């Protein structure tokens, strides 16, 4: 009962601080703008590929002249040498469009190579595999699932932990934890009430983003598993945050250690067979394998263990320490 009272008080103070709207708004912008940006990139990319126009010059000097005047973007010279076609291409060094230019040249020259190879097929031991047809798929289809969805899962998780650090260090630094303790609540009750509420908020936000993404024509698969994964991650994050805040009850240090720790943990997770971001992407795009499911189960187990460990740890802390 008392735990629920603490959670309700925490929710109350969160909703009074209207700045939480800012944090939520930022995530809405990520969810909304990502699709706009992606769409524009597609248009740009498609436009660029078909924009290669060839001009023939009599000799290299005139071609180079046109290049220097900026009339052509690249000069290509081809000659037969030792049974090969030797192509040399000059691309402007300082032009920042050089990436686009090189990509276009490469596409054209690959076609040339394919044709030349077919002519010499008799001399090859391996017959190149036929290349599947070009599809008009968006080259950024995977982007939404590989980057945007993981971002929208991990941002709420991160913020939840950060708020737990704030909430606990503030009670301790201001000395208001003393007041809470005269109420019939144990220190464990206070910590669990605060951490529990914020762990519950993260999956709720993810549910909201799934709906928003669906409105943006990005269908998210395995929603239930995704929410379970977020909940497990959030429990891990808030448990770590709570333990940290109790160990280092100064906001500056606790907060800095928390965010660096999260970053380190995220980088270190690369050592897992499947990075958490990949797990999220595979669930969201609907390509989850047994390995993915094992990872989700692992996180849930780890979350339960972390919650139990936190409870035991807090029970052993003497509340007098923060008096």
Partner 1 sequence: MRPRTVLRIARWETTKGVGGLDRGAVAVVLAAAAFVVAFGVVGLVGGVALEDGIYRVGVDEDSPFHDPVAVDDALAVVEPDPAVVDEGLRPGEGYDLYVESGPERTRLYLVRRDGEPTDKSLAALAAFRESVEAYNERRMRSEDNETAAFPVVVTVEFVERGTDGGADDGGGGPDSDGTGGGGGEGGGGDGQDDDGGLPSTGGGDGGGFGAPSIGAFDLFGTAGTSGSPSAIAPPFPFQSLVLAFLFVLPLNFVIQAYGSSMLSERLDRRGELLLVAPVTPAEIVAGKTLPYAATSLAIAATVVAGLWLIGAGAGPLSVLAVVPLSLLFLALTFLGAMFARSFKELTFVSVTVSTALTTYAFVPAIFTATSPVAFVSPLTVAVRDLTGAGVTPGQFLFATGPPTLVAGVCFLFGLGVYREEDLFTQRPVHLKALDALAGRIRRPRSLALVVALLVPFVFVAELVAVALLFALPVALSIPLVLATVAVIEELAKALPVYAGFVNGRYERTAGVGAAAGAAAGVGFFLAEKLSLLVQVVGLPDVAVADAAFQTGLGSNSLAAVAVLAVAPLLLHVATATVSALGASRDRTAFAASLSLATLLHLVYNLAVVSRLV
- Touching partner 1, residues 15-54 (CB under 8 A): 17-20, 22-23, 25-26, 29-30, 33, 36-37, 40, 44
Q: Nearer Cβ to partner 1, position 269 or 311?
A: 269
Q: Which residues contact 168 (CB under 8 A, 6 or more apart)?
A: 191, 194, 242, 245, 246, 249
Q: How far is the CB of 243 from partner 1 (least distance, A)?
A: 16
Contact range with partner 1 by CB under 8 A, out of 203-211, 284-292, 299-307, 311-319: 284-292
Q: Are 249 and 173 in contact (CB under 8 A)?
A: yes
- Alpha-carbon Rg for the chain in angstroms: 29
Tell whether residue 125 is a contact of partner 1 (CB under 8 A). yes
Which residue among 32, 289, 301, 312 contacts partner 1 (CB under 8 A)? 289
> 77 by DSSP, 3-state: which?
strand
Cα–Cα distance measured from residue 14 to residue 49, given in angstroms and rounded to the nearest whole number: 50
Which 61-120 positions form the footprint of partner 1 (CB under 8 A)? 61, 64, 67-68, 70, 77, 79, 81-100, 102-103, 105-106, 109-110, 112-113, 116-117, 119-120
How many CB atoms lie under 10 A from the CB of residue 258?
22
Tell whether residue 131 is a contact of partner 1 (CB under 8 A). yes
Sign of the CA dihedral running 271, 277, 281, 283: positive
Cα–Cα distance measured from residue 23 to residue 3, given in angstroms and rounded to the nearest whole number: 26
Tell whether residue 12 is a contact of partner 1 (CB under 8 A). no
Which residue among 170, 212, 293, 300 contacts partner 1 (CB under 8 A)? 170
Q: Nearer Cβ to partner 1, position 230 or 292?
A: 292
Question: What is the enclosing helix (H) or strand (E) of 80?
Answer: strand 75-81
Q: Nearer Cβ to partner 1, position 159 or 206?
A: 159
Q: Nearer Cβ to partner 1, position 251 or 311?
A: 251
Contact range with partner 1 by CB under 8 A, out of 143-151, 177-185, 205-213, 297-305: 143-151
Cα–Cα distance measured from residue 13 to residue 170, given in angstroms and rounded to the nearest whole number: 13
Q: Nearer Cβ to partner 1, position 289 or 308?
A: 289
How many CB atoms lie under 10 A from the CB of residue 35?
19
Cα–Cα distance measured from residue 93 to residue 125, given in angstroms and rounded to the nearest whole number: 39
Sign of the CA dihedral running 306, 309, 314, 317: negative
Q: How far is the CB of 281 from partner 1 (least distance, A)?
A: 6
> 68 by DSSP, 3-state: which?
helix
Which 174-203 positions form the footprint of partner 1 (CB under 8 A)? 174-175
Which residue among 281, 306, 310, 314 contacts partner 1 (CB under 8 A)? 281
Which 231-270 positions form the footprint of partner 1 (CB under 8 A)? 250-253, 255-257, 259-261, 263-264, 267-268, 270
């Amino acid at each position: 009962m008392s735990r629920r009272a603490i959670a309700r008080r925490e929710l109350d103070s969160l909703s009074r601080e209207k700045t939480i709207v800012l944090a939520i708004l930022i995530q809405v912008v990520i969810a909304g703008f990502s699709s706009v940006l992606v769409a524009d990139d597609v248009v740009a990319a498609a436009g660029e590929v078909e924009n290669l126009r060839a001009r023939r010059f009599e000799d290299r000097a005139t071609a180079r002249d046109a290049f220097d005047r900026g009339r052509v973007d690249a000069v290509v010279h081809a000659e037969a040498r030792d049974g090969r076609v030797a192509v040399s291409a000059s691309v402007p060094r300082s032009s920042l469009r050089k990436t686009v230019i090189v990509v276009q040249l490469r596409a054209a020259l690959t076609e040339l190579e394919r044709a030349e190879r077919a002519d010499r097929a008799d001399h090859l031991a391996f017959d190149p595999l036929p290349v599947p047809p070009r599809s008009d798929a968006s080259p950024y289809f995977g982007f939404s699932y590989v980057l945007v969805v993981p971002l929208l899962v991990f941002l709420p998780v991160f913020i939840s932990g950060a708020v737990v650090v704030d909430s606990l260090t503030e009670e301790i630094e201001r000395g208001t934890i003393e007041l809470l303790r005269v109420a019939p609540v144990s220190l464990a009750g206070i910590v669990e009430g605060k951490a529990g509420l914020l762990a519950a908020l993260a999956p709720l936000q993810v549910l909201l983003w799934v709906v928003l993404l669906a409105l943006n024509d990005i269908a998210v698969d395995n929603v239930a598993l995704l929410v379970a994964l977020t909940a497990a991650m959030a429990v891990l994050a808030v448990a770590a945050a709570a333990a940290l805040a109790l160990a280092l009850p100064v906001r500056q240090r606790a907060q800095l250690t928390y965010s660096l720790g999260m970053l380190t943990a995220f980088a270190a997770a690369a050592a897992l067979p499947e990075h958490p971001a990949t797990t999220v992407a595979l669930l969201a795009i609907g390509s989850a394998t047994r390995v993915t499911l094992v990872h989700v189960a692992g996180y849930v187990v780890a979350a339960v263990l972390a919650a139990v460990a936190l409870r035991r740890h807090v029970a052993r802390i003497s509340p007098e320490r923060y008096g």
